[in-house]
Each structure stands twice: as C-alpha cells, then as structure tokens.
Amino acid sequence: GSAMAAVRDVEIDPEGTFKYILVRLQRPGGGEQRDIVRGTKAAEFHNHIFEKVNPEMEKLGYECKCLGGGKIDHNSKDKKIRVFGLSTGYGIADHSVTVEILKKEYTDYEITWSDDKK
C-alpha cells in the first residue's frame, strides 16, 4: 500500500480555470483501488492529462482508467474551487466524487460543483 500512499490524491494548478480528469488507479487483478484528480492549464485536451498520468502510474504498478473529466476553476485568493463542465472524449466525471477528493487536500476551501458547461 505504500506506493499507492505515495500517489497524491490531487494535483491541480494553484490558480485559474483548467481541464481536469478523474482517474481510477487499480492493482492488476483487483485489490486496492482509489480515485485521483489531475488538472492543469498546460493540457489543451483532457487526454493530454491522461497521457502524462498513465505512464507514471504504470511504473508504480497500477492500471489507470479515466472516469471522466470536466473543468476546475481554482481561486486561491478567495479559497474557492468550482468543478463543472465535461470532457468530450471521456464524458462527464462524477463531480461530487471529485469534490470529496478535493476536500481532503483543500480542507479550508469552499468547494462546489455543477453540471454547467461554463
């Protein structure tokens, strides 16, 4: 379990609006699994994020599955995060799950989500 513990729940840009994906990590053959959130302005498309995460996780011995995507609006000044939108390629992530994961990392933030496109 230590390798999985070394994987951070959340890696997102500290500020701005950007694409994100929800990724499920799993040990081959079942066993432990967990979901992680990854998002960055550097990614023009959602699959760019997945293409970066996937090899990193495979090195650690995990299978990755993208559960969907959306956008994150991160306002670090006001300590607010809004999760919304969807991914054309991967479909919509369960934003409520994303919010729960974000709350673990950003404990003093106000975090909301909606199915709005913008």
Q: What SS3 state is found at 96? A: helix
Catalytic residue among 46, 48, 74, 95: 46
**What's the structural domain count of the chain?**
1
Does residue 4 lie within any of the structural domains?
no
Q: Is 19 annotated as contributing to ligand binding?
A: yes
pLDDT for 117: 87
Instruction: Examine residue 1 and state whether it is found in any structural domain, yes or no.
Output: no
Give φ, ψ of 86 to 5 degrees: -155, 175
Determine the structural domain holding residue 83 and report its residue range. 10-114
CATH at 16:
3.50.20.20
Instruction: 23-28: list long-range contacts, CB under 8 Å, 24+ apart.
Output: 23/50, 23/53, 23/57, 23/64, 23/65, 23/66, 23/67, 24/64, 24/65, 24/66, 24/67, 25/57, 25/62, 25/63, 25/64, 26/62, 26/63, 26/64, 26/65, 27/61, 27/62, 27/63, 28/61, 28/63
46 noted as active-site residue: yes
Does 80 fall in a domain? yes
Q: Residue 49 falls within a domain, yes or no? A: yes
Say what the alpha-carbon torsion angle 9, 28, 3, 8 is, to the nearest 10 degrees. -10
Mean pLDDT by runs of 10 across the 118 residues of the chain is 77 98 92 93 97 95 96 98 97 97 97 92
